[in-house]
C-alpha cells in the first residue's frame, strides 16, 4: 500500500501470477498492457476517485512492470518492480482520490510500462480535473443576535462546501468548525435589513457578542482558534442562471479584505472566498425580519461555489 504525495492520494495493490514457459531462440514479444477504464481520458471533479485496473500479459516472461505519473513539472514513479522469473501475467490496482490540492484544468498523465527480454510496451492514460462548481438552492439561515439566543436551535452557521447548517453549539465542535464559512447575524431590535449581516466565523465581534454581552448567563463559549476566515463583497451578476466556473472567477476577482457584509436585501449578490480559497456567489432570495422578543429573523439564498 502506498500513498502518493502532493497531488492526490492513491492506495495501490499488486497481484502477480506465476506460470512456467519453455525457452526458444526467437525474440521475445512485448507484453500486452490492458488498463480499465478503457477511455484514454477520464474527466473528474475534485473529490472523485478513479480506479485503474491494469494487467500485463505476455507469451514470454515479463521482466518488469512500471507505473509513473506526471502533472506539469511534477513527476513520480508509483510502481517499479522486477518480476519473478517466468512471470507471464501481472495485475495491479491503482485507486486515485483527486484532492483539492490539484488545480482545476490540470491533466495528469499515467504511463503503464512493461518489458520482456527483447521488447517493451507502454500505455498512457489521462485524468483531467474539470472546472466545476456546486449549486445549492433555498438555503435558510436563522440569525443569532444580542440577547439570550437559543444556541442549540438557531441554524446560523453554514458550510458552503458541504451545504450544511449548524447551531452555535454545533459550531464549537472542531470537525464542524473546520467546514463552516459563513455566520448569519441580525441585531433584531432595529428590525431593519440594514442590520442583517454575513460574517467570517473568526471575527472577534462574534466572540464579544456571545461571550461578553450582558444577558448571557452563563455566557456562550465561542472559540476563535478553530474558526475559518472568509471574505465578502457585493457584486453585480447579469447571468445567474448561465453562470460558469470562469464567470465566478471573473466576478469575484480579487475578493479584498472585508470579513463582514452588513445591510442585506433581496436580489443582492454577495461574493465570498473561503479559507480554502474557493470562490462563490450567493443570491439573496428572501429576508424575514422579526423581533420575538430577541431574534427570529431569517435569510434565504441560492449559492454557487467552486468545488
> For 159-216, how does the pLDDT look when each residue is reduced to its tens digit (9 = 90+)?
999 999 999 889 999 999 999 999 998 876 667 899 899 999 999 988 887 776 655 5
Give the sign of the dihedral formed by CA 134, CA 140, CA 144, CA 150: negative
DSSP state at residue 292: S
pTM (2 d.p.): 0.65
Place of cell 464542524: 176
User: Which three cell numbers mark 165?
Assistant: 447548517
> For 269-281, how does the pLDDT look when each residue is reduced to its tens digit (9 = 90+)?
999 999 989 999 9
The Cα 143–Cα 185 span in angstroms is: 5
pLDDT of residue 10: 42
CATH architecture, domain 8-129: Sandwich (2.60)
Specify the domain boundaries for CATH 2.60.40.10 within the chain: 8-129
- From 197, 199, 198, 162, select the one nearest 179 (Cα to Cα): 162
> For 33-70, how does the pLDDT look when each residue is reduced to its tens digit (9 = 90+)?
999 999 999 999 878 899 999 999 999 999 999 999 99
Q: What is the dihedral of CA 94, 97, 102, 107, to 10 degrees?
A: 40
Amino acid at each position: 500500500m502506498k500513498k502518493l504525495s502532493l497531488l492526490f492520494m492513491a492506495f495501490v495493490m499488486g497481484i502477480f501470477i506465476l506460470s512456467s514457459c519453455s525457452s526458444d531462440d526467437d525474440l521475445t514479444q512485448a507484453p500486452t498492457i490492458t488498463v480499465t477504464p478503457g477511455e484514454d481520458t477520464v474527466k473528474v471533479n475534485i473529490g472523485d476517485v478513479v480506479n485503474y485496473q491494469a494487467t500485463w500479459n505476455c507469451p514470454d516472461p515479463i521482466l518488469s512492470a512500471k507505473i509513473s505519473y506526471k502533472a506539469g513539472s511534477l513527476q513520480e514513479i508509483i510502481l517499479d518492480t522486477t518480476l519473478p522469473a517466468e512471470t507471464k501475467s501481472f495485475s495491479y490496482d491503482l485507486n486515485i482520490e483527486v484532492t483539492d490540492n490539484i488545480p482545476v484544468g490540470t491533466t495528469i498523465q499515467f504511463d503503464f510500462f512493461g518489458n520482456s527480454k527483447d521488447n517493451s510496451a507502454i500505455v498512457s492514460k489521462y485524468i483531467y480535473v474539470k472546472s466545476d462548481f456546486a449549486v445549492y438552492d433555498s438555503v435558510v439561515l436563522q440569525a443569532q443576535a444580542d440577547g439570550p439566543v437559543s444556541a442549540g436551535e438557531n441554524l446560523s452557521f453554514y458550510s458552503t462546501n458541504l451545504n450544511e447548517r449548524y447551531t452555535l453549539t454545533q459550531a464549537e465542535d472542531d470537525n464542524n468548525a473546520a467546514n463552516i464559512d459563513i455566520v448569519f447575524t441580525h441585531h433584531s431590535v432595529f428590525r431593519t435589513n440594514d442590520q442583517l449581516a454575513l460574517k467570517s466565523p473568526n471575527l472577534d465581534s462574534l466572540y464579544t457578542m456571545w461571550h461578553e454581552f450582558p444577558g448571557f448567563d452563563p455566557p456562550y463559549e465561542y472559540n476563535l482558534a478553530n474558526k475559518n476566515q472568509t471574505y465578502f463583497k457585493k457584486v453585480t451578476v447579469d447571468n445567474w442562471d448561465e453562470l460558469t466556473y470562469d464567470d465566478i472567477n471573473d466576478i469575484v476577482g480579487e475578493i479584498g479584505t472585508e470579513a463582514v457584509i452588513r445591510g442585506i436585501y433581496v436580489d443582492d449578490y454577495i461574493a465570498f472566498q473561503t479559507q480554502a480559497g474557493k470562490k462563490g456567489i450567493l443570491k439573496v432570495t428572501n429576508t424575514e425580519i422579526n423581533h420575538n422578543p430577541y431574534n427570529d429573523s431569517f435569510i434565504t439564498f441560492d449559492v454557487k461555489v467552486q468545488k
